[in-house]
Structure 1
Amino acid sequence: MPHRLFIGIRPPAAVRQVLIDTMEALDGARWQDDEQLHLTLRFVGEVEREVANDLAAALASIAMPSFELALDGVSHFERKGSPTAIWAKVPPTAELLRLRTKIDRVCDLTGLGCETRRFTPHITIARLNRHTGSIADWLTRHADLRDSWQADAFSLFESHLLTSGAQYEIAARYPLQA
């Protein structure tokens, strides 16, 4: 049975609470649960157990110091002119990009190839659909969203797709050196 995986950073509880506090006053938004709040570094997709185990072992070879991350406002993704998600911006620091490069290299070495999509560091706050009301007021109200934290680990997550939405489970956690 395949495992649906991604690699990301989970913000601490205080930062997740700042994000949760924005989750209001937007009709039709599907707000993320606390357990779903993360910064994706690399989406892996569905892989067999052997590849998942190889990836988990290879990620343990990544050595890097911990580093600071920040929230810096909000934005949205859209498809065909309609918003599909709203998210908190995470500025792409040199350390974050270095970690992402190391992860991409490990994924390539384990046979998963290199990532070809543009990296836009963010934490998804809500999923939207065509029934969602206008997001302009929400974006304006939360434009000054700011916080920061020390990223002291990254994780390999397994995503379970349920009728109620995706449920994420940390399969392995990789500490960054203090």
Structure 2
Amino acid sequence: MRSFVAIEIISKEIIDSIKKIQSEFNINAKPVEIKNIHFTLQFLGEIDENKLNQVKDALERISFESFDVTFTNMGAFPKAKFPRVVWIGVDEDSGKNLIELAKKVESSLSPLGFSSDKPFTPHVTIFRIKNKPNDITEELKRYKNVRFGIQNVKNFKLKKSELTPSGPIYSDLQVVSAKP
């Protein structure tokens, strides 16, 4: 099964901010469904049942404390002139905490043969662009230094991803909670 490790966006304030941006942002792109917006700590790809149990055991041993994430700024990958993805980022402290957690996930899964193909960049994708993209540099400037809200991260999840013609369907395989 296709799987990944993620932090879901559950804050009503942030969800409302994202919905507003998705309705106002001037772009010819498909918005990511609100229920599917998340931070991907690590993409695992296809894993079988045996590997799944090993992954669950490794993730369960990760110890972390809950922390707040402040959502701010917007950007695009690979760049605003030729975007394929539009994202919302986080402030510096939030980024450090998310990177630290992503490193814990990666180091716990590394002995099982998993590795990240690129360094973790704290962001949530809100648009995917399939067709010929327009330069959105000016549009992004409107959201420079805008704060979209704060979410307390109390857990992360191992998720299953089923690809369908109407988009991915995600389901939970495991929840790993912060230690008190």
Pairwise same-fold verdict (TM > 0.5): yes
2:111 corresponds to 1:123: no
CA RMSD of aligned residues (A): 1.9
Q: How many Å separate the matches in 2 of 1:99 and 1:136?
A: 31
Percent identity of the aligned residues?
24
Q: Deviations over 1:66-100 (max 9, x none)?
A: 01111120000037x62101000124543322211
Normalized against structure 2, the TM-score is what? 0.87
One-letter code aligned to 2:140:
L
Match of 2:11 in 1: 13
Instruction: Report the alpha carbon displacement of residue 132 of structure 1 after superposing the two structures with TM.
Output: 4.3
Q: For 2:107, which of 82, 105, 116 is the aligned residue?
A: 105
Greater helix proportion: 2
Q: How many Å separate the matches in 2 of 1:5 and 1:110?
A: 14
Q: How many Å separate the matches in 2 of 1:109 and 1:50?
A: 15
Q: How many Å separate the matches in 2 of 1:93 and 1:166?
A: 26
For the 8 Å contact 1:60–1:174, the answer to whether it is kept is yes
Q: Structure 1: which 4+ aligned runs deviate by more than 4 Å?
A: none
Instruction: Report the alpha carbon displacement of residue 137 of structure 1 after superposing the two structures with TM.
Output: 4.0
One-letter code aligned to 1:5:
S
- Within 5 Å, which residues of 2 pair with 1:3-152? 3-14=1-12, 15-24=14-23, 25-78=25-78, 82-91=82-91, 93-112=95-114, 114-146=115-147, 147-152=149-154
SS of alignment partner, residue 21 of structure 1: helix
One-letter code aligned to 2:89:
K
Instruction: Give the unaligned 5+ runs of structure 2.
Output: none
Q: How many Å separate the matches in 1 of 2:112 and 2:15?
A: 32
One-letter code aligned to 2:8:
R
**Which has the larger displacement, 116-125 or 94-103?**
94-103
Normalized against structure 1, the TM-score is what? 0.88
SS of alignment partner, residue 22 of structure 1: helix
Change over 3 Å in CA distance of 1:69–1:29 after alignment to 2: same
**Which has the larger displacement, 153-162 or 141-150?**
141-150
Instruction: Report the alpha carbon displacement of residue 107 of structure 1 after superposing the two structures with TM.
Output: 1.1
Change over 3 Å in CA distance of 1:111–1:131 after alignment to 2: closer
One-letter code aligned to 2:19:
I
Match of 1:158 in 2: 160
Instruction: Report the alpha carbon displacement of residue 142 of structure 1 after superposing the two structures with TM.
Output: 2.5
Instruction: Report the alpha carbon displacement of residue 133 of structure 1 after superposing the two structures with TM.
Output: 4.2
Instruction: Give the unaligned 5+ runs of structure 1.
Output: none
Change over 3 Å in CA distance of 1:13–1:93 after alignment to 2: closer
Q: How many Å separate the matches in 2 of 1:95 and 1:27?
A: 31
